[in-house]
Amino acid sequence: MKQKQFRSSQIKQLSKNIFTFVQKGRVILFNRITFQQKYLEDASFAEIKKIAKEMERETPKIRFSLPQTKKFRIEITFNCNLNCDYCLVFKNNLVQLNNSMNENTARKTIAFYKKNIRKGSLMITGGEPLTNWPVVKLFISKIKDPIKIFTNGTIISRDIIRTLKENRNVQLIISLDGRRAENIMRKFSNGKEVFPLVIKNLKRLRQQSCNLGIACLYTNKNVDKLYETVKFFTRELGIRFLGISFPHYIAKNLNNEINSDIKKYTEAMIKIFDFALKNNIYIDQLAKRFSPLINGRFRFYACKLVGEQKTFYPNGDQTLCTKIDSLKNRKKYDLRYFENKIPINNKFCQKCPAIGICGGGCFWDGIMRFRNGVDERECILNNNLLDYFLWKIYFAYKNGENLDKKFHSLIL
């Protein structure tokens, strides 16, 4: 059955934090701070204003405070066996290119983690982390909190498979942009395509019941096929944990190639939302934006460098962001700068109904692409998703459905 196209609501701001979303005589009164929703039908404007005034009066003032560190991001190597067109590392002249973390540095970082982090998590990335497998394996052996390893999927050995099978806290996230035709920007240094090998390795890992996910980057090459791509990932490859992310800014750019129409992406993500619900699939970019509407937790930030995450270079040095470190004026981008740019503190965001689900996107893209410190592609995405999400919740509520149960696959 062909999915009906969603028609946007008439949206109006009634007060600082209260907005109306109107469709066919139905009204959703929405509080962007508390996520409170009130439903009216054929109500007079006077009645709507009265209820909105009461909702505004009961809205608490919220302030951002730095969170405790809960996550270590380990740039375990800045080496890679690929030469992808949109590489965030090698197209941006990062510090410590072609360096890898040694075991001595890894042990110091592990000791620092164990001393300072309780019930945290680890992200291991690069470069290609599995080119430095002995050090990756050391982290796995010493830390039993959740670990995500982001890999291009071309380097899979028996020891890697055995280690992943024995450590279910470790999830391998494999980069894949769709079927063969959509993966033309991912290639080896000699230009040879990687797709056949990645699919072969992914199937080997699946056969051994390893904990897997897929990270997909949307670009002009695949945005029109994202819905079909998600079906390919889930139905043919058997993966139920997915990410579908924005292309980041690269200095050595092919930006006309890797950029894409955010409106097309938004339309695709709306369509994918329903597919994910029906098939019990987790989509990271949807879950992070949808969850606040159900659990009531305001999403202050998207990028975790604002206190929650520490990033480590291959030599063990700490930083906020390896990409921003590549800028000549990098010293101005301190923690206070980023605190002032998150939506709740950013003048640019103050009239946005989606302020509580957005987080502002990637700071690197906010700096390099736009003027206000936030990734303004998020403005289009989140306002449209908010509209769609509110009506999905509305109809679920009207049908007497349990919201936690209905939306569980997309609630953090």
Asked if 86 and 170 sit in the same domain, the reply is: yes
Is there a domain that residue 325 lies in?
Answer: yes
Q: Which range (89-98, 112-121, 124-133, 368-377) has the least confidence?
A: 89-98
For 398, phi and psi rounded to 5 degrees? -65, -30
Is there a domain that residue 376 lies in?
Answer: yes
Which helix (H) or strand (E) segment holds residue 311: the answer is: strand 309-312
Q: Is residue 256 predicted with pLDDT exceeding 60?
A: no
Q: Residue 5 has what pLDDT?
A: 76
Asked if 241 and 106 sit in the same domain, the reply is: yes
Is there a domain that residue 2 lies in?
Answer: no
Tally of domains within the chain: 2
DSSP 52: H
Q: Determine the residue type at 374.
A: V
**Neighbouring C-alpha atoms within 13 Å toward the C-beta of 368:** 21
Q: Residue 253 has what pLDDT?
A: 63
Query: How far apart (Å, rounded) are the C-alpha atoms in residues 369 and 52?
Result: 37
Tokens representing residue 221 in the block: 């090459």
Q: Residue 49 has what pLDDT?
A: 96
Query: How far apart (Å, rounded) are the C-alpha atoms in residues 191 and 170?
Result: 31
Asked if 13 and 98 sit in the same domain, the reply is: no
Q: Residue 233 has what pLDDT?
A: 98
Query: How far apart (Å, rounded) are the C-alpha atoms in residues 123 and 172?
Result: 10
For 291, phi and psi rounded to 5 degrees? -55, -40
Residues 6 or more apart whose Cβ sits within 8 Å of residue 174: 151, 152, 153, 198, 201, 202, 212, 213, 214, 215
Query: How far apart (Å, rounded) are the C-alpha atoms in residues 384 and 291?
Result: 16
Q: Which domain holds residue 36?
A: 9-61
C-alpha distances out from residue 329 to 173, 326, 332, Å: 33, 9, 6
Burial class (CB in 10 A: 0-12, 13-18, 19+), 359: buried
**Neighbouring C-alpha atoms within 13 Å toward the C-beta of 315:** 8
Is there a domain that residue 249 lies in?
Answer: yes
Query: How far apart (Å, rounded) are the C-alpha atoms in residues 349 and 343?
Result: 5
Burial class (CB in 10 A: 0-12, 13-18, 19+), 298: middle
Final residue of a structural domain among 25, 42, 61 = 61
Is there a domain that residue 138 lies in?
Answer: yes
Asked if 126 and 18 sit in the same domain, the reply is: no
What pLDDT, in 10s, does the model give residues 61-111? 999 999 999 999 999 999 999 999 999 999 888 999 999 999 999 999 999
Asked if 259 and 236 sit in the same domain, the reply is: yes
Q: Name the residue with higher pLDDT: 290 or 260.
A: 290
385-398 average pLDDT score: 97
Asked if 162 and 108 sit in the same domain, the reply is: yes
- Give the CATH number for residue 389: 3.20.20.70
Final residue of a structural domain among 18, 35, 61 = 61
Asked if 160 and 230 sit in the same domain, the reply is: yes
What pLDDT, in 10s, does the model give residues 292-319? 999 999 999 999 999 899 999 999 999 9
Final residue of a structural domain among 61, 78, 97 = 61
120-147 average pLDDT score: 98
Asked if 358 and 377 sit in the same domain, the reply is: yes
Asked if 47 and 85 sit in the same domain, the reply is: no
Asked if 56 and 73 sit in the same domain, the reply is: no
Asked if 256 and 375 sit in the same domain, the reply is: yes
Asked if 163 and 266 sit in the same domain, the reply is: yes
